[in-house]
Structure 1
Amino acid sequence: MAKKTTLNQNITHFIAPKHWPTWLGMGIAYLLSYLPWTIQKALGTGLGKLHYALSRRRKEICHTNLHICFPDLSEDDREKLARAHFESMAIGVFEMFTAWFRNPEKTATKVTFNDQEVVNRAVAKGKGCIMVGAHFSSIDLCGTQIARFIDVHPIYKLQRNPVMNWVMERQRQAVFSKTIERKNTKEIFRSLKDNKTVWFAVDQDYGRKNSVFAPFYGRECATISHISRLAKSTGATILLYDYGRTKDGYLLSLQEVKGYPTGDEVADATLLNKLIEQHIEPKREQYFWSHRRFKTQKDPQDPSPYKIKKR
């Protein structure tokens, strides 16, 4: 099914029997979102263990990424990190449910943010902000929380399931003053012109056409290139967003990236990748290792590192 926005459609478009399994899933997700945080974490840990045992494809992608990025780790340490990653990602599913169905104020007491002055200085420049960051397992919950401190307009990707889009798009409308589908360049420029903050997650592979190749943990990978062009054309301030799960809650951080753009797209991409690496290191297990970060090869003739191994 084609990916289409549901913002111009009401719920009657999605009540046919073919959508009932998804609605049942959404109902279960709604109920799970009201479980206490400690129980959600415990259930997520168990679900992650199960997923690791059953998901051959995602497990192989994860191990491939860890082998590329941490070649000096022992096999035992990589195995421990992979297992912890699956548990972290499963906890993130419960956090997504909470972000979708609960008021952000319900989680606010677990959030630490000490960089309001960074926000104030950036907004005072009057040219908008481009907030960049990585994909960590708590992205949905921490995304709704950063909106309490800065008027952020997130870039989002539509899903193939229209019911999930219907729920997701309305949840985000309730939290953010505006959301922007990733292909809507006109709205990105409009938000920056209005001195708002546009949020990009810049660490996934969107193919050769939209990227330059820059090192990530020592390996060249396709890295989106339009952030530096956008910053150059608008004069927007670049804010680096770091976030993650702690023992007792969540820590959010913003810092201004100085000297960006440099005028060299590869140098800019290299800088952002290096900063993202610094964010990953204290919480390696929370990063999206089960996504194909290196799927596009610099040399088109080189094989993908994610070819499934025969058993």
Structure 2
Amino acid sequence: MRAACWRAMTSERARGRRCWFVAPANLLASGIARLPQPWLLSLGSVATWLLWPLLAKRRRHAATNLSLCFPALDERARMRLLRDTVRATVTGVFELIRGWYAPARVLRGLADVQGLEHVRAAQAQGRGILLFGGHIPHSELCARLLGEALGERVSIVARRNNDPCIERWMDSARRRVFADVIAKKDVRGLLRTLSRGGIVAYSADQDFNYQNAFVPFFGVPAATLTATPDLARRGNAVVLPFWFHRDADGRYQLRVEPTWSGWPSGDPAQDAARYMAELETVVRQHPEQYLWVHRRFKTRPPGEPELYR
């Protein structure tokens, strides 16, 4: 109900404005989504070069995060990692468009997928599935790729855009390819989808200033959501780690793992710490592909200074 009300309100606000860009945006996005993978990655590199001056604030956030999380790197190595992560983030916009607009035939053969048996086993029990991942620029594309491999659509949790025209365009695009689009704070919508046996791609690794615990992420105390085990319990869902990355040749590697042994433990802070430790292990393998432009350490423990400027 809450999601339906939001969509109705957004549509009403958008109708009050001339959302002139929607039709040309759909046309352009459809063309980008059909590009050969090497062309799309090259487009990301060119766009990064063009947009570099405009991304100064995001680059500062990323530079702060990389300095905190990779203190052993020298200045040259850290600058190279910063360039790579900005390029991965910008390229992620085009990968997002591919995930929304590409026909199934364009996506065929783009990904190697492991662990589908864990999804099937949970489905055989009649339970929902919470795919527990992290904020990687190509997250939604990989959720789409997983759905293609499964032969059914998955649902995603997404943050709403404050601009009604942009939100209407993004929501419409997402609903073309996902079973449901659940707002970040729409707990009822999430539980409803899980209770129906739905598959939901979900991440809890951004900064949370509520229901949180400060747990280590790359050795830095990070405000992390502690509610995930309770959400899974209330939705009768199985939590399956879902990891992915893009290889140098442009192929995507997707991996669904079984639930971590001993998780949940009954201690919310300990469970959040386990999540961050598992995510850190994955991120270290391809550090440039994590969303470092986000202010991951914005909320600080009492008495600690602000880290971003």
Structure 1 window deviating more from structure 2 (288-297 vs 162-171): it is 162-171
What is the aligned partner in structure 1 of residue 264 from structure 2? Answer: 261
What is the aligned partner in structure 1 of residue 304 from structure 2? Answer: 302
What is the aligned partner in structure 2 of residue 110 from structure 1? Answer: 110
* Whole-Å separation in 2 of the counterparts to 1:64 and 1:13: 37
Shift in Å, 1:231: 2.7
What is the aligned partner in structure 1 of residue 147 from structure 2? Answer: 147
Q: State whether residues 192 and 236 of structure 1, in contact with CA within 8 Å, keep that contact through their aligned partners in structure 2.
A: yes
Shift in Å, 1:305: 0.6
Amino acid in structure 2 at the alignment position of 1:58: R
Shift in Å, 1:43: 1.6
Amino acid in structure 1 at the alignment position of 2:291: F
Amino acid in structure 2 at the alignment position of 1:241: F
What is the aligned partner in structure 2 of residue 189 from structure 1? Answer: 191
* Whole-Å separation in 2 of the counterparts to 1:177 and 1:184: 16
Change (3 A) 1:100 1:192: closer
What is the aligned partner in structure 1 of residue 126 from structure 2? Answer: 126
SS at match of 2:88: helix
Count residues with an aligned counterpart. 302
Shift in Å, 1:265: 0.6
What is the aligned partner in structure 2 of residue 252 from structure 1? Answer: 254
Identity %: 27
RMSD: 2.4
What is the aligned partner in structure 1 of residue 216 from structure 2? Answer: 215
Q: State whether residues 237 and 256 of structure 1, in contact with CA within 8 Å, keep that contact through their aligned partners in structure 2.
A: no
What is the aligned partner in structure 2 of residue 238 from structure 1? Answer: 239
1:84 maps onto 2:84 in alignment: yes
* Whole-Å separation in 2 of the counterparts to 1:31 and 1:198: 28
* Whole-Å separation in 1 of the counterparts to 2:224 and 2:133: 13
User: TM-score, normalising length from structure 2?
Assistant: 0.89
Q: Which runs of 5+ in 1 are unaligned?
A: none
What is the aligned partner in structure 1 of residue 70 from structure 2? Answer: 70
Shift in Å, 1:259: 2.0
Shift in Å, 1:25: 4.7
Shift in Å, 1:171: 2.2
Q: Deviations over 1:47-70 (max 9, x none)?
A: 223333442211111110001111
Alignment of 1:134-173 (within 5 A): 134-148=134-148, 149=150, 151-173=153-175
Shift in Å, 1:20: 2.5
